[in-house]
Structure 1
């Protein structure tokens, strides 16, 4: 097996990230709370990780800008168009599995 070089690894990780973001943009029916309950992260987590990486690199990116990068539109617009109110079952599952800070 041939492992990628460091530069290739960065390119592959970037491609995987772009594909994940594209997939999430194409699946607005999958709610963030569902992602949190099943995988322990959501679109907001992803945008926060992006923001952390940008700031670590010295880029002056805002939370709203990082969310727009992940959502493909302003966050408030995405919420108005796609976000549904969480059911009691979803909220209970979230509270039970909520990440501990």
Structure 2
């Protein structure tokens, strides 16, 4: 791998990839956060927390709600009301099993 392809050397590319991930998640609102947590061990809320932490590392203050709104592309309460479904018993069992590992 060349130095040009090292993570951290291309912030513009990395930012574009991040925006594409957010757009992809936005286009697939049917994918629930619990499913992401079970399969990938992160979800939209994790992304908002990582965004907030990265902003704070740069000396910027970002509220939890502002970070979530960036990731969800709408207020979190609105997203929850329109798109979040209750987790099934099977999903909760899978999530708990994953946490035990």
Structure 1 vs Structure 2 CA RMSD: 1.9
Paired residues of 1:40 and 1:99 also in contact (CA < 8 A): no
- Greater relative contact order (CA < 8 Å, ≥ 6 in sequence): 1
Alignment of 1:48-67 (within 5 A): 48-67=49-68
Aligned structure 1 segments of 4 or more residues deviating by more than 4 angstroms: 5-8
Q: Give me the TM-score of the superposition, normalised by structure 2.
A: 0.91
- Give aligned pairs, total: 100
Paired residues of 1:47 and 1:70 also in contact (CA < 8 A): yes
User: How far does the alpha carbon of each residue in 1:35-92 deviate from its partner, in whole angstroms, 9 at most, with x for none?
Assistant: 0000000000001000000111111110000000000000000000000000000000
Alignment of 1:9-88 (within 5 A): 9-88=10-89
The 3 A distance-change label for structure 1 pair 99 and 64 is farther
Q: Give me the TM-score of the superposition, normalised by structure 1.
A: 0.91
CA distance in 1, matches of 2:47, 2:100: 14
CA distance in 2, matches of 1:56, 1:24: 25
CA distance in 2, matches of 1:97, 1:55: 30
Q: CA deviation at 1:3?
A: 3.5
Q: What are the ranges of 5 or more consecutive residues in structure 2 without an aligned counterpart?
A: none
The 3 A distance-change label for structure 1 pair 99 and 17 is farther
Q: What are the ranges of 5 or more consecutive residues in structure 1 without an aligned counterpart?
A: none
